Amino acid sequence: MHEFSIIENIFKAIEKVANEKGLTRIHKVKLQVGLLRQIEPRTLQFAFDTVSKGTFLENAILDVDTVPIIMYCNNCTATFEVKEQAYICPDCEGMDLKLLKGKEIILESIEGDDALWNSR
């Protein structure tokens, strides 16, 4: 269950931002998680609820957006979304590919105490 270690690292990042912004209670945390991370949403939520219990994050909403797998073909320069684990360029059928998106875990925003922090 790597979801617990992911949430523990996210928790540290949230604590840092909360301390910098003077937030004492967090209401919502928004993450972007790439499909290649193979994260089980229910397990991630369970890990979040467990780690946040008794902290300034208790009862916060965890909002997770899934990031699709996006590849770039080095042969024909096409950019495409991987469907059904087919790692072949749909335009030229090449397999010389570069991963553009799908492996990230991004702390996108934190809402709390009448304040909003956004990573953008």
Q: Does 103 map to a domain? A: yes
The predicted model gives 75-103 an average pLDDT of: 95
Is the distance from CB of 15 to CB of 51 less than 8 angstroms?
A: no
pLDDT of residue 114: 59
35, 73, 80, 91, 111 from 30: Cα distances, Å: 16, 31, 25, 35, 9
46, 107, 113 from 117: Cα distances, Å: 24, 10, 11
Domain count, the chain: 1
Specify the pTM.
0.80
pLDDT of residue 112: 84
CA angle (105, 106, 109) in 5-degree steps: 145
Write out the residue range of the structural domain in which residue 98 sits: 3-112
Q: Does 89 map to a domain? A: yes
Confidence band, pLDDT 50/70/90 cuts, at residue 117: low
Q: Does 117 map to a domain? A: no
C-alpha 111/C-alpha 93 separation (Å) is 44
pLDDT in tens, 29-88: 999 999 999 898 899 999 999 999 999 999 999 999 999 999 999 999 999 999 988 899
Of 22 and 13, which is predicted with more confidence?
13
